[in-house]
């Protein structure tokens, strides 16, 4: 079975060495030495001042919303993973969708202002498949209207914008280190901010609000991560350049051979900067064609994924809002498998099946 992605695994002995040390220390969680080491190394690798390692990328979004004390309406994208929307609802705010740009698949900054009301408190946008949003435009609108900005950067590890890590933008950026992501810690995530006050707030939120063993600063939750997870991150970080290079190669191989066949590819804003090529999405002319290709691949035990389908404005717990562009793209977009150990032979097989099926 060829899945859309396969988690990267470091050599077992390297992980084992870290775990051996955990055994001798008998310190498993609660801000342990490996968590600290991972945070430090990630800050160094990404060139960032602050980040907090968390238990997953969904709680990262929830903590970001809490830390900024957001209320009322949050402008957001209908084209993302469900956690972007569900986190807003979970935090008792109302998601107000703004349609996407049909070439970048990111929230359309030109449509933001029309959606602002006196109840709007923030913009929560996703850098879709790692592709940076129109950050400058979004920032200008947020400043003009006094709104906070959160970026769901779950796909963006290693991406740069204006020669800086894309994680450094917005009041807070969040990411996921889930096993299916380019860089992972099995389960895991992080929040990023450049504001020490917001950072401090998030430190309390991550750990039950503890400010000392018997003192509680604020309401909090348990969003800590463990030494075992940090160990996986430390191992994987040693291979990140290899992982990024391989992805780039695979992405371009797909694109070179699938170009000119009537498929639409994502316009990548970040390509003049540093991009991570974490996914290979392609948009078909219609849904019937997509289903035909998906079927043909599945017959050969290859599993592509419909990222992202359905469009989030159609979720049953959301007040209905029509988002024609997002709905149209959601129905026609498919991500082909990309993972570190995928061979050229397997990739060529996938390409052949796609091209052959497109002809009928
Ligand atoms: C993966 C993902 C999340 C959730 O991250 P988890 O670590 O799985 O909780 C949120 N947003 C987007 C866009 C994602 O792809």
| Concatenated DSSP letters of 143-155 | HHHT-EEEEE-TT
Q: Determine the pLDDT at residue 135.
A: 97
If one residue of 55, 106, 151, 152 were mutated to test the ligand 1 pocket, choosing by the most ligand atoms within 8 A of its CB, it would be 152
80 lines ligand 1 (CB under 6 A): yes
152 lines ligand 1 (CB under 6 A): yes
Bridge pairing between strands 264-265 and 280-283: antiparallel
Q: Which domains does the chain have, with CATH numbers?
A: 12-237 (3.40.640.10), 240-359 (3.90.1150.10)
Q: Determine the pLDDT at residue 271.
A: 62
58 lines ligand 1 (CB under 6 A): yes
Q: Determine the pLDDT at residue 5.
A: 85
Which residue, 281, 332, 283, 270, is CA-closest to 5? 281
Bridge pairing between strands 148-152 and 120-126: parallel
Q: Determine the pLDDT at residue 162.
A: 92
Note whether 19 and 231 are within 8 A (CB).
Answer: yes
Burial category of 107 from C-beta neighbours within 10 Å (exposed 0-12, middle 13-18, buried 19 and up): buried
Q: What is the pLDDT of residues 43-71, one digit of tens each?
A: 999 999 999 999 999 999 999 999 999 99
56 lines ligand 1 (CB under 6 A): yes
- Alpha carbons 188 and 206: distance in angstroms, whole number: 13
Nearest atom, ligand 1, residue 155 CA: 15
- Per the DSSP assignment, residues forming a β-bridge with 316 are none
- Alpha carbons 205 and 200: distance in angstroms, whole number: 9
Which residue, 118, 80, 71, is CA-closest to 98? 80
Residue nearest to atom 6 of ligand 1 (CA): 57
What global pTM score does this model have? Answer: 0.97
Give me the residues of the chain with pLDDT under 70, please: 270-271
The dihedral through the CA atoms of 161, 121, 225, 12 has a sign that is negative
- Alpha carbons 312 and 124: distance in angstroms, whole number: 14
- Alpha carbons 81 and 84: distance in angstroms, whole number: 6
List phi, psi (to 5°) of 54.
-125, 175
Note whether 105 and 311 are within 8 A (CB).
Answer: no
Place of tokens 């035990």: 301
Nearest atom, ligand 1, residue 188 CA: 7
Q: What is the pLDDT of residues 283-314, one digit of tens each?
A: 999 999 999 999 999 999 999 999 999 999 99
Q: Determine the pLDDT at residue 248.
A: 97
Q: Determine the pLDDT at residue 270.
A: 61
81 lines ligand 1 (CB under 6 A): yes
């Amino acid at each position: 079975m060829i899945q859309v992605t396969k988690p990267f695994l470091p050599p077992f002995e390297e992980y084992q060495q870290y775990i051996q040390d955990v055994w001798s220390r008998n310190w498993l969680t609660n801000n342990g030495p490996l968590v600290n080491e991972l945070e430090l190394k990630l800050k160094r690798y990404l060139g960032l001042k602050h980040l907090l390692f968390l238990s997953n990328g969904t709680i990262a979004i929830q903590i970001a919303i809490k830390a900024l004390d957001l209320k009322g309406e949050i402008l957001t994208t209908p084209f993302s993973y469900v956690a972007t929307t569900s986190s807003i609802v979970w935090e008792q705010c109302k998601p107000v969708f703004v349609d996407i740009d049909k070439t970048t698949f990111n929230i359309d900054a030109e449509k933001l202002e029309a959606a602002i009301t006196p109840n709007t408190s923030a913009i929560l946008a996703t850098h879709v498949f790692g592709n940076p949003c129109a950050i400058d435009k979004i920032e200008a609108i947020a400043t003009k209207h006094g709104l906070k900005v959160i970026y769901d950067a779950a796909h963006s590890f290693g991406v740069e914008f204006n020669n800086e890590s894309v994680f450094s933008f917005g009041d807070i950026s969040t990411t996921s280190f889930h096993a299916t992501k380019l860089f992972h810690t099995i389960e895991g995530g992080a929040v990023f901010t450049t504001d020490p006050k917001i950072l401090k707030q998030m430190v309390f939120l991550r750990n039950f609000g503890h400010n000392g063993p018997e003192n509680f600063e604020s309401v909090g939750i348990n969003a800590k991560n463990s030494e075992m997870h940090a160990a996986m991150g430390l191992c994987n970080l040693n291979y990140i350049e290899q992982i990024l290079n391989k992805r780039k190669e695979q992405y371009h191989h797909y694109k070179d051979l699938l170009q000119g066949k009537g498929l639409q590819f994502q316009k990548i804003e970040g390509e003049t900067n540093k991009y991570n090529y974490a996914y290979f999405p392609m948009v078909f002319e219609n849904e019937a064609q997509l289903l035909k290709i998906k079927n043909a691949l599945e017959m050969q035990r290859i599993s592509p994924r419909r990222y992202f389908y359905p469009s989030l404005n159609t979720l049953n717990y959301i007040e209905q809002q029509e988002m024609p562009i997002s709905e149209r793209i959601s129905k026609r977009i498919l991500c082909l498998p990309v993972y570190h150990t995928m061979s050229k032979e397997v990739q060529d097989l996938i390409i052949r099946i796609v091209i052959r099926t497109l002809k009928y």
